[in-house]
């Protein structure tokens, strides 16, 4: 029996509606279906995948002395093209590389020598600090702030310094019982006592100076002539009590004379603010300096 076909004016909206309903399918079911489909295709994938591999040399990642550069991740999954075999290969090789890297770092830890009994070189010691994870990122008054999962109960205090991978990331601006907020180096209100690493000139590093697409810090220096040059490192001077001296803040990008005895340096922060996932909050105690007070009679 011949049936009349469904008219397209009904079929097309129906198919679009059906497609919209596909968005309701849980991701776990889709992943399961994807896995089953790939399993069904696996004999073919293995056969042709082996052919593909024999043509292209694969990077050797095992038993090498010098750590090999990480392999290139395959191109991001282009819509509509299945590239799962390459992705799986990449993940496998990346796993092996990370394991060997972890082993190497374990051996390099202080107090753990290598298999031959040689003592490993000691890593530079960080000031006393506690680790914290970034749990939130928010723009407050158009400035990026990060929420951390450590608060006053864990020993975090207001204005404490925050490090990321050994470089200064910012300062604590708000403390709750079990969480705190850190303002990053480029925050407009940031102010850190700093020093140029080579010329030893002191100044104050402040946030927010837009240089094209990049957000830089500015360092105000008082002096008639300064010998700062682009590329020079900027470190903490330790005068503000929040940071010990010598922590890396950034790199000088340019220097500009603002007045007779006023210079302004553009400083690129050492810490990539967009890639901060975990930090160290400094918990060192600030020594009380017994500054002499002015005698009462002189004040009058």
Partner 1 sequence: MRATFGLLVLFFATVIVQTVLFPAFVPPALRPDVGIIVAMAALAFAPREFGLVCVFALGLQADLFGSTRFGLLTLSYLLAAGFILWMAWRELTRGDLLAAWVGGIAGTAVAHFLYLCFARLSGMSIYWGAALMTVLWLSLAACVWGLLCAWACGRFMYCTGLLAPPVREHWLAEERLAAARRRKVARG
Residues near partner 1, by CB under 8 A? 5-6, 8, 11-12, 15-16, 18-20, 22-23, 25, 27, 30, 33-34, 37-38, 41, 44-45, 48-49, 51-52, 75-86
Query: Closest approach of Cβ 58 to partner 1, in Å?
Result: 15
Which tokens is 281 given? Answer: 């909050």
- Give dist(CA 77, CA 285) in Å, integer: 50
Which one, 83 or 112, has the nearer CB to partner 1? 83
Query: Closest approach of Cβ 276 to partner 1, in Å?
Result: 17
Which one, 11 or 119, has the nearer CB to partner 1? 11
Which one, 18 or 66, has the nearer CB to partner 1? 18
- Give dist(CA 270, CA 268) in Å, integer: 6
The dihedrals phi and psi of 224, each to the nearest 5 degrees, come to: -75, -50
- Give dist(CA 1, CA 300) in Å, integer: 114
Which tokens is 2 given? Answer: 């011949």
Q: Are 161 and 243 in contact (CB under 8 A)?
A: yes
Which one, 75 or 178, has the nearer CB to partner 1? 75
Which tokens is 260 given? Answer: 């007779």
The dihedrals phi and psi of 157, each to the nearest 5 degrees, come to: -120, 160
Query: Closest approach of Cβ 8 to partner 1, in Å?
Result: 5
Which one, 23 or 141, has the nearer CB to partner 1? 23
Which tokens is 83 given? Answer: 């590239």
């Amino acid at each position: 029996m011949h049936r009349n076909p469904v008219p397209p004016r009904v079929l097309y909206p129906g198919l679009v509606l059906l497609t919209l309903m596909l968005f309701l399918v849980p991701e776990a079911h889709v992943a399961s279906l994807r896995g089953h489909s790939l399993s069904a295709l696996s004999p073919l994938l293995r056969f042709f995948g082996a052919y593909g591999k024999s043509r292209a040399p694969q990077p050797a990642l095992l038993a090498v002395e010098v750590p090999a550069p990480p392999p290139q991740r395959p191109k991001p999954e282009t819509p509509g093209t299945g590239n799962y075999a390459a992705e799986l290969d990449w993940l496998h090789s990346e796993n092996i590389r990370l394991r060997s890297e972890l082993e190497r770092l374990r051996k390099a830890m202080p107090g753990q020598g290598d298999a031959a009994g040689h003592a490993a070189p000691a890593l530079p010691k960080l000031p006393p600090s506690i680790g914290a994870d970034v749990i939130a990122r928010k723009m407050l008054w158009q400035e990026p702030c990060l929420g951390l999962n450590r608060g006053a109960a864990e020993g975090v205090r207001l204005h404490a310094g925050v490090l990321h991978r050994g470089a200064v990331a910012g300062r604590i601006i708000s403390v709750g019982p079990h969480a705190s907020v850190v303002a990053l180096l480029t925050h407009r209100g940031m102010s850190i006592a700093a020093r140029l690493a080579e010329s030893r000139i002191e100044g104050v590093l402040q946030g927010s100076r837009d240089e094209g697409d990049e957000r830089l810090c500015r360092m105000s220096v008082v002096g008639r002539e300064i010998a700062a040059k682009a590329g020079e490192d900027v470190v903490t001077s330790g005068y503000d009590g929040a940071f010990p001296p010598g922590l890396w803040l950034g790199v000088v990008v340019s220097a500009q004379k603002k007045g007779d005895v006023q210079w302004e340096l553009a400083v690129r922060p050492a810490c990539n603010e967009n890639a901060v996932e975990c930090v160290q909050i400094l918990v060192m105690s600030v020594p009380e300096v017994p500054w002499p007070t002015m005698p009462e009679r002189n004040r009058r």
